[in-house]
Amino acid sequence: TSTRDYLSNTVMSKPKVFSYFLFMQDQRKLVPGWSNKSNNELQALCDPLWRRLDRGEKEKYKKLKKVYKEKERLEAEQRYAAAMQTDIRTKVLVGQVDKP
């Protein structure tokens, strides 16, 4: 397996993270009573708020998305490196055992 294959299977197979999703998660934490809302309910509540955000606020979430994606990429590289390190071969000596 190549590095590209490994990374695409681990990182690329995860759901994409969007700026809007990060905004929703922030709102879930910030607004009292929203922490127990389902994703569908939360989306219905957040949609009007997201539409009213100015470009600067949305840009903040776009930057968070880039940071998140970079973190995911680094974690995948570390998992790959760890997997490659576990492929250490052990020498085993095979011999004859004499009965006493």
Q: State the average pLDDT over residues 74-95.
A: 73
Which pLDDT score is estimated for 17? 73
Q: State the average pLDDT over residues 64-76.
A: 90
**Number of other residues whose CB lies within 10 A of the CB of residue 20:** 16
For 1-58, the pLDDT digits (tens) are 555 555 555 544 566 779 999 999 999 999 999 999 999 999 999 999 999 999 999 9
If pLDDT is split at 50, 70 and 90, which confidence band does 67 have? very high
Q: Would you state the structure tokens that stand for residue 90, as one six-digit string? A: 């052990």
The radius of gyration of the chain's CA atoms, rounded to the nearest angstrom, is 24
List the one residue out of 30, 29, 15 whose CA is nearest residue 65: 15
Q: State the average pLDDT over residues 79-96.
A: 68
